[in-house]
Amino acid sequence: MKRCYFLLSWTLLSILLISNDTYAFDIIGLQPLAPNGVFSTFSAESLPKNKSSLEIGAERSRESDFYRFSLKGAYGITDNLEFNLMIPYVYNYSGSIDGLEDISLGFKHRFYDEGKYGPSLAYLINASLSTGHDGLGSNGRIGVGVILSKRVGPFSGHLNIFYEKPGSDKLKDEVSFAGGIEFSASHNFEILGEIFTRKGHFTEKYDQVEARFGYRIKTTDFVYTTIGVGLDIKDRNPEYRVMLSVCLTTSHGKKKIKKIFEEE
């Protein structure tokens, strides 16, 4: 397990050293819903059978400047198979472009549950419909990803590797790596951190490396509120972004508190 974390950490560090001067629109693709993920990093966890989640999100990016609003949904087909949907809308990109990005959908299947030492493993098969405004989409795409998750005490770590093939011959294949961590500071409050890096559809090199930080509050048993900020660490765009999302889920349950009584 330590070897897996070391290899991925080394890969991410190597990517940070690669430079490229190409700027292009930040196509978002499929994203996880709270609490089963960290910003763009999926967790291997999934909704129980017949449970569902709906999440609305807003993002403000700077350099390049635009607003993004999103509607995300998830449904548990079985206890380890989940359907995901993402509908993003971009407002005022480059001061004049408004419209939909490609609508994304996918299936996440957890095929190995976490053990005492080993992580849980899942894969995700996804596709995007060619619904995006010119300059905001990829003419549709298909992709596949591998997800690894492990919990150690109050910490949960997730590693993702994704490959995306665009529908347009003019665009290049996309490869992305993401590593996210959650720290459970209390029963209803989590501190989040993520490193996200990507070789996008417009270049042969890794042109996006971003550090993201934030927190998630379990407002009620069925509502999660997530606030975060993303900071560019490779002189690329966007320079920074601010993110807010609210997730409503039917999958909830109160933890049973074990009481210990001592006899006098």
CATH number at residue 107: 2.40.160.40
**Is 262 part of a structural domain of the chain?**
no
**Is 260 part of a structural domain of the chain?**
no
Mean pLDDT is lowest, of 187-191, 223-227, 238-242, for: 238-242
**Predicted confidence band of residue 236 (pLDDT cuts 50, 70, 90):** low
**Is 181 part of a structural domain of the chain?**
yes
Q: What percent of the chain has pLDDT over 90?
A: 65
**How much is the average pLDDT of 101-112?**
96
In the numeric block, the tokens 């994203």 are attached to 31
Check whether the bond before 64 is cis (ω within 30° of 0): yes
User: Where in the sequence is the domain holding 217, given as residue range(s)?
Assistant: 2-249
Both tokens of 188, joined, read 């209803």
- For residue range 67-103, what is the model confidence (pLDDT) as tens digits? 999 999 999 999 999 999 999 999 998 888 899 999 9
**Is 255 part of a structural domain of the chain?**
no
CA proximity to 243, closest of 37, 19, 18? 37
Check whether the bond before 154 is cis (ω within 30° of 0): no
CA proximity to 205, closest of 228, 178, 173? 173
Mean pLDDT is lowest, of 35-39, 111-115, 198-202, 239-243, for: 198-202
- Residue 79 vs residue 29, higher pLDDT: 79
pLDDT for 24 equals 63
**Is 216 part of a structural domain of the chain?**
yes
**From CA 200, how far away is CA 171, in angstroms rounded?**
9
Instruction: Look at residue 20 and tell me whether its pLDDT is greater than 60.
Output: no
- Total count of domains within the chain: 1
CA proximity to 138, closest of 258, 2, 30? 30
**Is 254 part of a structural domain of the chain?**
no
**How much is the average pLDDT of 233-255?**
83
**Is 256 part of a structural domain of the chain?**
no
Mean pLDDT is lowest, of 84-88, 130-134, 160-164, 233-237, for: 233-237
Instruction: Tell me which amino acid residue 243 is.
Output: M
Q: Which residues contact 192 (CB under 8 A, 6 or more apart)?
A: 38, 39, 180, 181, 182, 183, 212, 213, 214, 215, 216, 226, 228
**From CA 81, how far away is CA 14, in angstroms rounded?**
33
pLDDT for 21 equals 39
pLDDT for 55 equals 98
